[in-house]
Amino acid sequence: MKTQDGSSKSRSWLIALPTAILVLLGLIWSAFWYWSTTAAEATMTAWRAREADAGRVYGCATTKFGGYPFRIEVECAEPSVDDRATALSIRAHNIAAVAQVWDPTLVIGEIVGPLTVAPLGGSPAATADWTLAQASLRGTPGAPERLSIVIDKPNLATAPTGGSLAAAEHLEFHGRFAPESTPGHPALDLALDLRSATAPALVSALGTFGPLVSASTDLSIVAVLRGASDLAPKPWEQRLREIQAAGGRLEITNARLQQGDLIATATGALSLTAHGALTGDVRLTVVNFTKIIPWLGIDRAFAQAVRPDTLNRFAPALDRLIPGLGNVLRGRDNAASTASADGAKPDVNAALAAAALGGQQAELEGQRAVTLTLRFDDGAAFLGPLKVGQVPPLY
């Protein structure tokens, strides 16, 4: 028979043992969290050292670690990057990143603007700002496996005037190693999504194609980049040279652009020559093809180059492209009254141009469209037999 004193001691152990176990587990978890934080800090320090050897110096005015007990949080105030390869200096207001203790290879971060870009040792030349900018990284800083960036209302402007260079309502970029990627044959799945984007700074540079960036445009691209061995930051020229040397190419699986009632989709593959010139074919399907004809100057070229007595030769092709256009051509004298001031008849000349460029009738999103091939040969761009531009070497 147990004594009252023995029963009391038994109950005390029943209470003390679970408490001791919880305290021990807490101490073990605290030690694990501290070890994980120390390991994360050491990884960042080693990565920054490697980047510094490569000419990219990363810095923070102050660095704070936190997130106990279940997360690892890092906050970098006034982050900076000085890149000797591009001779650029980048500054931002704040970066905060977080990872779960049990999964430190997935890091989610947020950057607070504005961000400034300046020549090394110089004053800012451009600023970028946004309402929200977040990124997620799977892997380690030195060997990322998957990267996603989401930005709301990005705006790039000149400094100090503040003139707009480019802006959008929303931007997303996603990159990851494709399932079929191997060390000997690397492949990256890429996706870009832009909503209500404009780029006023490029209007004059693009010449007749300026309207493509002057008005609000939605753009989405899904592609596979072959020949890129990693997602680590590198100078643009170095990255492109590595891809070309590996026999890489960009395979566009689905691209779509919409600007008002102009809709265009594209598929195809592009690669680079040894001196950085584009080569490859892209299949285009365009709704309201007549809108891009003036940008290319094809209507004026045909109006000036094709004699009236030869236009009827194209009537059968035009009828196949867009039924009824042959009759329009045959009745062009009646259409002359609608000609523009420079003598061009936009509808007739645009249709004639589409047929002569090898265009075929198609349907896109329930609307009548034209399908044709944009070909790049050593940087020269051709639609059918007509050269429409020259892309300078990319390195």
The tokens for 154 are 């990005």
Structure confidence at residue 42 (pLDDT): 79
Which distant-in-sequence residues (6+ apart) come within 8 Å of 170 by Cβ? 150, 151, 152, 153, 193, 194, 195, 196
The tokens for 198 are 């404009």
Structure confidence at residue 251 (pLDDT): 96
CB 113 within 8 A of CB 107: no
Q: What are the 10-residue block averages of pLDDT along the chain, 395 residues in total?
A: 56 67 76 78 80 86 86 91 88 92 85 93 92 89 81 93 90 91 85 94 72 88 89 78 92 95 95 94 89 68 56 57 48 42 46 67 87 91 80 87
**Amino acid found at 100:** Q
Q: Tell me if residue 366 falls in helix, strand or coil.
A: coil
Q: How far apart are CA 286 and CA 196, in angstroms?
A: 19
pTM: 0.77
Query: Contacts by 359-363 with C-beta closer than 8 Å and gap 24+?
Result: 359/289, 359/321, 359/384, 360/320, 360/321, 361/320, 361/321, 361/322, 362/285
Structure confidence at residue 222 (pLDDT): 97
Structure confidence at residue 129 (pLDDT): 95
Structure confidence at residue 53 (pLDDT): 86
Instruction: From residue 157, give the alpha-carbon distance in Å to each of 78, 125, 154, 171, 298.
Output: 20, 9, 10, 16, 34
Q: How far apart are CA 352 and CA 357, in angstroms?
A: 9
Establish how many alpha carbons lie within 13 A of residue 195's alpha carbon, considering only the half-sphere containing its beta carbon: 8
